[in-house]
Amino acid sequence: MPLPKPARRAQHHHRVVNCVGFLRDDGLWDIEGRMTDTKAYDVDNEERGGYVAGGEAFHDISMRLTIDQDFLIHAVECVIDAAPARMCAGIAGVFKQLEGTRIGAGWLRQTRELVGGVKGCTHLNELLQPLATTAIQTLWPLKNTDEKKERRGAILNSCHTWAQNSEIVKQVYPELYTPDPPAA
């Protein structure tokens, strides 16, 4: 069902985030994300030759996480093809610090400690969440039943559908079901 018809308006900004999961020939997985921002109007910017033209990428940022079936990150590659300042591209290599970390509970908190704020790039950090969910969506259906049972606690109380007192949990994981609402 689409959103209701909006009020009259004019587009000023367009952000696209696209993530894709790939199985590599060596058995590892590449999870790739790209974020682009464009404006519908020219933006003054001395770093970019005086201005960034409307429709030209204001940001064009990509990241690849190479992971194994246990979500351990083996390699991180980042590219900043367009940004408001030339120095932006220089931070991409810092994200190699994520190599050896594991996507799972607490991972985004860990990434903020390693590459958050002035230690990293806001936009590359923004890509981490959709990359993580893309990794999970890519690999989770392929996990065997025992692995899924072992990790089922990670999904419990992650949203209203997977709340410990929901009908879905009652059907899929009856041993985890409780009629009491989760603690706030």
Over the chain, what is the mean pLDDT? Answer: 91
Tokens 């921002």, located at residue: 37
Tokens of 34: 């790209």
> How far from chain centre, in Å, is Cα 86?
24
What are 79-127's pLDDT values in tens digits? 999 999 999 999 999 999 999 999 988 999 999 999 999 999 999 999 9
Mean pLDDT value of segment 3-11 = 96
d(CA 167, CA 18): 32
Answer yes or no: is pLDDT of 180 > 60: yes
Q: What is the rounded radius of gyration, in angstroms, for the C-alpha atoms of the chain?
A: 20
Q: What is the pLDDT of residue 163?
A: 86
Answer yes or no: is pLDDT of 148 > 60: no
Question: What φ, ψ does residue 24 adopt, rounded to 5°?
Answer: -85, 160
Percentage of the residues of the chain whose pLDDT score is greater than 90: 74
Question: What φ, ψ does residue 63 adopt, rounded to 5°?
Answer: -145, 140
Question: What φ, ψ does residue 59 adopt, rounded to 5°?
Answer: -125, 140
Q: What is the pLDDT of residue 182?
A: 74
pTM for the model stands at 0.85
CA dihedral defined by 59, 137, 74, 28, rounded to 10 degrees? Answer: -120
